[in-house]
Amino acid sequence: MKTVVRLILITVTILFIACENKDEVSFTSLIGAWTYTTPDKKIKVEFDIVGGDTELLAIKNQKIFVEGKEGKAEVQTDAIAETTFGFIRINANDVDLVRPYDIKFTNLKASEDFSVIEVEEATYTFPWSKSNALTDIEIVRR
């Protein structure tokens, strides 16, 4: 019985130590992979923010999903800085999606820990030709 109790205590101690030494993921910039899905789940976008010491931040590898169907996408940006963007617009440029669906995020700002991008407002098109507005949303890392 004492051996079983000792083994349990040793196991719990090892697990506790392992959890204490586990490094938390922390970010130091906007560089990384990001995603956002509209509340109605009709439009989803994914993109990477790239850059570094010698180059400006930029959006690459953008994708758009309309009702779950992935399509090629183009991106437009304005006023990219280290922690803020004037706007990001991702629009479908894919014949398989039939229409040029899009989403535009305006007045974006990185959170202090760079874990989310806070967006003042956004508009997206769905169904085709209907514009929908959103406020106070967050783009998250994927």
Residue 96 included in any domain? yes
Q: Output the six-digit token pair for 125.
A: 């098109």
**Predicted local distance difference test score (pLDDT) of residue 2:** 66
Q: Output the six-digit token pair for 99.
A: 């229409």
Residue 85 included in any domain? yes
Per-residue pLDDT tens for 91-130? 999 999 989 999 999 999 999 999 999 999 999 999 999 9
Residue 122 included in any domain? yes
Residue 56 included in any domain? yes
Place of tokens 């899009």: 102
Residue 4 included in any domain? no
pTM: 0.79
Computed on alpha carbons and rounded to an integer, the radius of gyration of the chain in Å comes to: 21
2: phi then psi, degrees, rounded to nearest 5: -65, -35
Q: Output the six-digit token pair for 39.
A: 């509340």
Task: Give the count of domains, the chain.
Answer: 1
**Predicted local distance difference test score (pLDDT) of residue 56:** 79
| Range of the structural domain that residue 110 is part of | 26-141
**Predicted local distance difference test score (pLDDT) of residue 14:** 61
Residue 8 included in any domain? no
Per-residue pLDDT tens for 26-80? 899 999 999 999 999 999 999 999 986 556 789 999 999 999 999 999 999 988 8
Given a contact cutoff of 8 angstroms between Cβ atoms, the answer to whether 103 and 124 are in contact is: yes
**Predicted local distance difference test score (pLDDT) of residue 19:** 53
Residue 116 included in any domain? yes
**Predicted local distance difference test score (pLDDT) of residue 81:** 82
For 59, residues 6+ apart whose C-beta sits below 8 A from its C-beta are: 47, 48, 49, 50, 75, 77, 88, 90
Residue 11 included in any domain? no
SS3 content of the chain, % helix, strand, coil (to 5): 15, 50, 35
